[in-house]
């Protein structure tokens, strides 16, 4: 290798270049998914929003359009493989390829473990874990054909340690961390990387909804964060750009914590 090949001229300036890549963002109609979708569009990514919330998608879409981005919305339930498959065909018709998948559709419910309602347990595992698995499988198959792609699963600090009243959620996110590793292991030799983002408690509609039920969980988490405030959805955009881009070419199977220091101690 000659000296000029070590870091060829212009190399670093292309690392984060996502112009004209295509990203599918599940849960793009609200909160973290909406922020990541808007952030991606700002750096030239063509964005496909997937959500069951059509009003939410319209809001995200109008923000992206007003900022000069390229976006289309697709009503889709990520817990249905049939729905995901038909939606993926529509996305291919519109955008021809899928370079990035962000799995942000998810939910939470707080209850003591001894009384956790079975229907809520099923709902959370089905959406957070199975929905992430199925979307990864459907769009992962497209990426495997392309021999290139990056999947980003929105996990949580709750995938790594426990906090009160969230047993089903913690189990689902622990599962997401493990499925991130397993997909990464199976697909990493075929050009598809699979990573996660692990946010701390964020200022999103989901948190606001949960906080009306109890603040025991939020107080427990906030007491372990280093700054005296919740994370902002836009504060995940940098990690999403890094993981979606060639800058993270050697990063595979990891969940990058965006946790304001929550996991330090």
DSSP letters of 95-154? Answer: HS---EEEE---------GGG--HHHHHHHIIIIIIHHHHHHHHHHHHHHHHT-EEEEEE
Q: How far apart are CA 135 and CA 79, in angstroms?
A: 8
- Has 169 been annotated as catalytic? yes
Q: How far apart are CA 217 and CA 112, in angstroms?
A: 11
Pick between residue 7 and residue 230 the one whose CB is nearest to ligand NAD.
230
The residues, ordered by sequence, that sit 6+ positions from 60 with a Cβ below 8 Å of its Cβ are 28, 29, 30, 34, 37, 38, 49, 71, 73
Pick between residue 22 and residue 37 the one whose CB is nearest to ligand NAD.
37
From the list 40, 133, 163, 169, the catalytic residue is: 169
Least gap, CB of 227 to ligand NAD (angstroms): 15
Least gap, CB of 19 to ligand NAD (angstroms): 26
Pick between residue 15 and residue 35 the one whose CB is nearest to ligand NAD.
35
Pick between residue 75 and residue 181 the one whose CB is nearest to ligand NAD.
75
Three-class DSSP category at 51: strand
Least gap, CB of 147 to ligand NAD (angstroms): 28
Least gap, CB of 80 to ligand NAD (angstroms): 8
Site residues for ligand NAD per CB under 6 A: 26-27, 29-33, 51-53, 56, 77-79, 104-108, 127-128, 131, 154, 156, 199, 201-202, 204-207
Least gap, CB of 106 to ligand NAD (angstroms): 2
Q: How far apart are CA 256 and CA 197, in angstroms?
A: 5
Pick between residue 29 and residue 244 the one whose CB is nearest to ligand NAD.
29
Q: How far apart are CA 30 and CA 195, in angstroms?
A: 21
Q: How far apart are CA 87 and CA 35, in angstroms?
A: 22
Least gap, CB of 155 to ligand NAD (angstroms): 7
Residue 49 host element (H or E) = strand 46-51
Q: What are residue 257's phi and psi, to 5 degrees? A: -80, 130
Pick between residue 108 and residue 121 the one whose CB is nearest to ligand NAD.
108
Nearest residue to 176 via CA among 157, 193, 196, 206: 196
Give the CA dihedral 73, 79, 83, 87, nearest 10 degrees: 40
Mind telling me the catalytic residues? 169
């Amino acid at each position: 290798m000659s000296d000029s090949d070590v870091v060829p001229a212009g190399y670093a300036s292309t690392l984060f270049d996502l112009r004209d890549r295509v990203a599918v963002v599940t849960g793009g109609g609200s909160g973290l998914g909406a922020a990541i979708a808007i952030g991606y569009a700002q750096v030239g990514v063509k964005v496909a929003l997937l959500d069951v919330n059509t009003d939410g998608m319209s809001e995200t879409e109008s923000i992206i359009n007003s900022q000069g981005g390229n976006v289309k919305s697709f009503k889709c339930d990520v817990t249905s493989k049939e729905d995901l498959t038909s939606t993926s065909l529509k996305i291919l018709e519109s955008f021809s390829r899928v370079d990035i998948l962000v799995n942000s559709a998810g939910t939470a419910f707080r209850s003591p473990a001894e009384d956790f309602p079975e229907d809520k347990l099923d709902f959370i595992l089905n959406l957070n874990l199975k929905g992430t698995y199925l979307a990864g499988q459907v769009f992962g198959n497209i990426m495997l054909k392309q021999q290139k792609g990056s999947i980003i699963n929105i996990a949580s600090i709750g995938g790594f340690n426990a906090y009160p009243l969230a047993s089903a959620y913690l189990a689902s996110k622990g599962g997401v961390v493990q499925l991130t590793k397993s997909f990464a292991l199976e697909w990493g030799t075929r050009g598809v990387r699979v990573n996660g983002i692990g946010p701390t408690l964020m200022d999103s509609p989901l948190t606001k909804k949960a906080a009306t039920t109890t603040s025991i969980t939020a107080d427990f988490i906030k007491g372990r964060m280093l700054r005296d405030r919740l994370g902002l959805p836009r504060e995940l955009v940098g990690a999403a750009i890094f993981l979606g881009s060639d800058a993270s070419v050697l990063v595979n199977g990891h969940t990058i914590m965006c946790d304001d220091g929550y996991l330090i101690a």
